[in-house]
Amino acid sequence: MFIKTFIGIFLLLGWAFTAFAQPANVEQEFIDSAQSYFEKDQFDKAITELDKAVKLSPRSSKLFLMRGDCKWLTRDMEGAIADYTRAIELGPSAPGIERAYNNRGVARQHLGNDINAFSDFERAISINPNYADPFYSRGVILEKRGKPDFALKDFDRAILLDPFKTPAYSARGNIRFRKNLLPGAFSDYNRAIELFPTVASSYIIRGMIYGIRGKWEIALDDLRDRIELNSEPGLTGVGVLGVAFNDIDKFVQANPANARAYASRGFVNLIRKRNPEADRDFNRSFQLEPKLRKDLKELIESVKGRTSGQ
């Protein structure tokens, strides 16, 4: 649903322009029908209607772009890439062609082809430097390449251009968190949660920041509300917890004298049902800050009791 929301905005804007620009004809009827199916999440049927439109106008860059978006939503990444490529070939200077480069890059990124994806994002930015999406996507690759400072600049730019770009806030918050820039990270997670309140990972790391600040009850509220202790079905899972654990683990490694960081990682380990690792983290935190043993005793036992019953 999250993905559909963002791609859907592009589709509806692009399709609305097409409907305005072209006279009413059979081709437009197929486009209108495709949009109707898209709005009902019936993407395969939307593709069928766009296939008909493409047969009538086989040199329409916009039709290939639109069909590529629908194929992306059905997880036909290879098909989406082929359509985006054809859209670029037919309309290399067409208005909005930067979106074809960006979306092809996203599809390539999904398939693990970061090198070509990066080139697509660079091209999209060169065509339209006021387009937020490729800055965000390029930042993701830069972070993976071990260039967090460059990634931060891209996330900053994406947010400046699109203040509602939720993934950019989360991504920037992750880097800030690992760099121990906690106030900025906290602000980013709050904004991400405000914009998209069902994304669990932001709650997880925000909870860790509360813990590092010694606000344990509030920290556990974030964890209880949004993780496996008391979560809605399908809201989160081991994968999200694993990503969160990696971030808190990196924070601990960068701040080995921070007792509360160990305790925060301990709570994540408890929720992951890795009690031996959690106990080691708590013991280390108590060595560094002895008063935490008393402060956290009841909370630790409460979490252990709830996770053991799952």
Residue 253: alpha-carbon gap to chain centroid? 25
Q: What pLDDT score was predicted for residue 211?
A: 78
Cβ burial 84-105 (10 Å sphere, 16+ → b, else e) = bebbbebbeebebbbbbbbbbb
Q: With respect to residue 263, please indicate whether it lies within any of the assigned structural domains.
A: yes
Residue found under tokens 């904004």: 191
Q: What pLDDT score was predicted for residue 242?
A: 59
Q: With respect to residue 24, please indicate whether it lies within any of the assigned structural domains.
A: no
Query: What is the chain's length?
Result: 310
Q: With respect to residue 87, please indicate whether it lies within any of the assigned structural domains.
A: no
Residue 100: alpha-carbon gap to chain centroid? 20
- pTM for the structure as a whole: 0.72
Q: With respect to residue 26, please indicate whether it lies within any of the assigned structural domains.
A: no
Residue found under tokens 């086989």: 58
Q: What pLDDT score was predicted for residue 9?
A: 41
- Residue from 98, 68, 239, 243 nearest 171 by CA: 243
Q: List the CATH number of the domain containing 273.
A: 1.25.40.10
- Please check whether residue 100 is in contact with residue 68, taking contact to mean a CB–CB distance below 8 angstroms: yes
Q: What pLDDT score was predicted for residue 240?
A: 52
Q: What pLDDT score was predicted for residue 306?
A: 65
Quote the CA–CA distance of 94 and 101 in Å, as a whole number.
12
Q: What pLDDT score was predicted for residue 1?
A: 44
Q: With respect to residue 293, please indicate whether it lies within any of the assigned structural domains.
A: yes
Residue found under tokens 């208005």: 95
pLDDT digits (tens, 9 = 90+) for 58-85: 998 988 998 999 999 899 999 999 999 9
pLDDT digits (tens, 9 = 90+) for 222-239: 766 555 433 443 434 444
Q: With respect to residue 173, please indicate whether it lies within any of the assigned structural domains.
A: yes
> How many domains, in total, are found in the chain?
1
- Please check whether residue 127 is in contact with residue 98, taking contact to mean a CB–CB distance below 8 angstroms: yes
Instruction: Give the other-Cβ count within 10 Å of 25's Cβ.
Output: 11
Quote the CA–CA distance of 61 and 154 in Å, as a whole number.
29
Structure tokens at 221: 């509220």
H helices of the chain, in order, are 2-21, 26-39, 43-56, 61-73, 77-90, 98-110, 114-127, 132-144, 148-161, 166-178, 182-195, 200-212, 216-226, 238-254, 259-271, 275-288, 292-308
Q: What pLDDT score was predicted for residue 308?
A: 62
Q: What pLDDT score was predicted for residue 128?
A: 97
Q: What pLDDT score was predicted for residue 290?
A: 92
Q: With respect to residue 16, please indicate whether it lies within any of the assigned structural domains.
A: no
Q: What pLDDT score was predicted for residue 232?
A: 40
Q: What pLDDT score was predicted for residue 5?
A: 45
Q: With respect to residue 11, please indicate whether it lies within any of the assigned structural domains.
A: no
DSSP readout, 173-188? HHHHHHTT-HHHHHHH
Question: If 0-12 CB within 10 Å is exposed, 13-18 middle and 19+ buried, where does residue 210 land?
Answer: buried
Structure tokens at 226: 């949004």
Quote the CA–CA distance of 125 and 10 in Å, as a whole number.
17
- Residue from 28, 100, 92, 33 nearest 64 by CA: 100
Quote the CA–CA distance of 227 and 15 in Å, as a whole number.
38
Quote the domain boundaries for residue 286. 166-310
Enumerate residue ranges in the chain where pLDDT < 50: 1-6, 8-13, 15-24, 228-239
